[in-house]
Amino acid sequence: MDLRGVKNWKLKLRYGRAKTQFRHFTVLADGDVTEANADLKTQVGPAFFGMSVWASDSDEAIDMAQVIGKHLGFACTRNIHVYDTEPAEPPGDEPRGYNLNFTPYERD
């Protein structure tokens, strides 16, 4: 069920008045920006890639981070962490990611 645009969508999900086949996750991936992206203000080098995800399960959330990251010029070369989290946006009819964020760091 696409709940985007529905008033009080969190309450409707919480109390069973609306249903979704997806769960909400936050994914944090450690890797490398391989291609700079002016829109996302990324530079080539080590970075963490974070995103919020509506997915069927944690495996799908990891797959989404890898595919979306690759599309944006990021390679998940190290650990990927997945957490069950509260959503900031409602689910749609398809799995989706939002709140994409890159944080560069210096690797020793």
Question: Would you say residue 28 lies in a domain?
Answer: yes
pLDDT tens for each residue of 73-89:
999 999 999 999 999 99
pLDDT of the residue at 27: 98
Question: Would you say residue 10 lies in a domain?
Answer: no
How many domains would you assign to the chain?
1
The domain in which residue 53 lies consists of 24-93
pTM for the structure as a whole: 0.87
pLDDT of the residue at 50: 97
User: What is the rounded average pLDDT for all residues in the chain?
Assistant: 92
Pairing of strands 96-104, 45-55: antiparallel
Q: Cα separation of 55 and 24, whole Å?
A: 6
Are the C-beta atoms of 101 and 40 separated by less than 8 Å? no
